[in-house]
Structure 1
Amino acid sequence: MVQYIVTPWRDHNELITARTQLYPGGGPPSDDTPDNLPWAAVYASSATRPTDQQRSEDDGLSSAVSRVEADQRLAVGRVQMWAHRGNCPHLVESTGLLVAVVLDDVDQSRRRRQQQRERLAASAQASSLSLSDFAVRAAYATAFSRFVTGLLDSQQDKQKKQSMYSLAKTIGLPATFVELRHQATHEQLPSLLKLRSAAKKALSWIWDFYWKGLPPADPSRGEMLQDGDRVGFPLLAGVTAGGDSRDEGSAELQLGTVLPVMSCEQVLLAYLQGKLDEATARHQLAQYDAAFIVKTTDDIGNSTKDIRTMTRALRLVGDMIEGTCPLITNRPPTSAGDASSSLGGEAARGGQQQQQQRSRGWVRRSKESWKPKPIGTV
């Protein structure tokens, strides 16, 4: 019997993309990296810096750090979304929590340096910094304790209880992790330097135990990159939309920008909202039947709450029926057939039928088609 595994991510490539964003350098930093140095600075220091003469090397490094941290925050948000969906592996969630705490610690350190530059009052500055340090320590301790406790509890046998040290030895978890977890839970909070070092070691251990062994991304399905994240869909590797040299109405594809793989409804909605250009939308819709495109567009117009999107959808349906819509004209016979000749009849026949066969649970009824009846009357 086939057993299905439900995952919170769309496909394996989305998981690999999250790994790439959480570990931008293809893995954790080396052990000799200072604990107080942000990961983003470590990764960005080896990256290519901008060559613009108006930008110094420090500005280039700062820009690279900002890009790395922005990608990490996107990955943390994605992991949080997976956790809300359910069935998210504990190590994936723990990675997101630890990276989120590290990013917050970096932001707090920057604010602290900014306060020192502004030379605030010594008493006010000391009180605010001590409170911030305590909050950061508590965040580190919570994320680290949750990582260790959840991991070891998942290895616990209900028939025979074992100590955390025994379970940690079984899976290769360092005993110092269990000791630090016990100290953070039952004793005084460890120092900030100790917690920073523990978080870095925990992320390195999670990489070796979980992330490192994942299969590579499938190039036929593509990965979710920055351009795709703008719309929110995965990208198809090797399929590109033309660059600046192409004509605006041309549907020919050239090497350049990778196209997102989107469903018919997603393509039409992005096109109506102005997120997709006409040539890209026409290429994405080439695999769908023209009548299905008309029905999907009509469904979007009837279900959306945005007046502008609704107006554009209704106008687009009219153009499709009249055969003047560029999205479905001049299409190959294999994908659309004689679309322009069949759209008018099908749309005219299926007006009310499409409303009833729509996959959504709620349908809009006009006052003419619905008549109230007393309760109990058939």
Structure 2
Amino acid sequence: MNKPLERIMKTKKVMEELSSDEPKYRLIADSLRESVLSGEYRPGSRLPSETDLVRRFGVSRMTIVKAIKELQQAGLVTRRVGSGTYVSPRTSQTSRLFGLLIPELGQTEIFEPICQGMASYQGTTPHSLLWGNSVGDGHPKEQVAEELCQQYITQQASGVFFAPLELTPKKDEVNRRIMAALHKAGIPVVLLDRCVEPYPRRSQYDLVGIDNRRTAYAATAHLLSAGARRIAFLGKALAASTVDARIAGYREALNTAGMRAQEVVVRGDPGDSDLIQKVLNVQKPDAFLCANDHTAASLMQSLSRLGRRVPEDIRIVGVDDVKYASLLAVPLTTQHQPCIDIGRIAMSTMLSRLENPDFPAREILLNCRLVVRQSCGAPRGN
């Protein structure tokens, strides 16, 4: 099939798919990515202009801009002001393609900057990222994860970055199937943020994330120094192993302070006002260490409905330092995750694994930084 006819057929296929539930920009990005990787657009060559792409796919200019941005993040193209978009010189048939198997991409704030860190990693080996689909309504996380796994096996990805499923009853079963399929295909895996095994067990795969135990230890110690005397830990049920590690750090801090008898661990929905009221009535905590910032934000709303003030009545600390943490009704004290650095180190770990496949599995855990705001009741300079 000649090139112009082949391009027309590919465009027709994308146009048919644009009526699906997938984001339009991602379908267009996938089509352009395939054209780049197949050699249709050679390294250094100029892609069609945004106007030409708008006309070809029949979408808005903003949709095209988002598609091009995704290719930029993957390192496939570069944009030159006043000139256009060009295929990156390093992109070739020998470039390594890495799959991002992150079903929660776009649903939690920490993974997008992690992916940006991977894309920005400057190594000696050419590489590109295959961005997986974000989860939307009607797309179960389990289904998305397994479909992406098979997609990367079919594409013969050089490696896969996998953030194991959480908050779903079938998470362990699906995670095991995915790991078994990638292992059978001989595709290396670097785990992001969390392990597929329950804490404190470790899998046979490299993992890059934060030191969850020490992070929770430091957060708990901070609440104690701020004057809290009965701290409850709050996390959702079916959460990842990272939450169990944070519970371990919370317990260790209480034990160090001689307050282990004051331990209160709650697993449930932070938005359930009845649950929170019961905890307040029975356990009588004066502070909460939340498994993450999302949990902390939901807890704040529940406490507000119950007439409890933060931090005057209840102190709160979270983990992650997402963008909205400082914008809550009461700005949230939290532990800042170095997401960009996690991404860079994850890419370095993957490249090292490919060069040294017989090395023992590594667990690379980064430190967090405490960001003191109003919710903990301590002065900001503390």
Q: TM-score range by the shorter chain?
A: under 0.3
Kindly indicate which of the two structures has a greater share of residues assigned to helix: 1
Q: Pick 1 or 2: higher relative contact order, CA cutoff 8 A, min separation 6.
A: 2
Question: Rg larger in 1 or in 2?
Answer: 1
Kindly indicate which of the two structures has a greater share of residues assigned to strand: 2
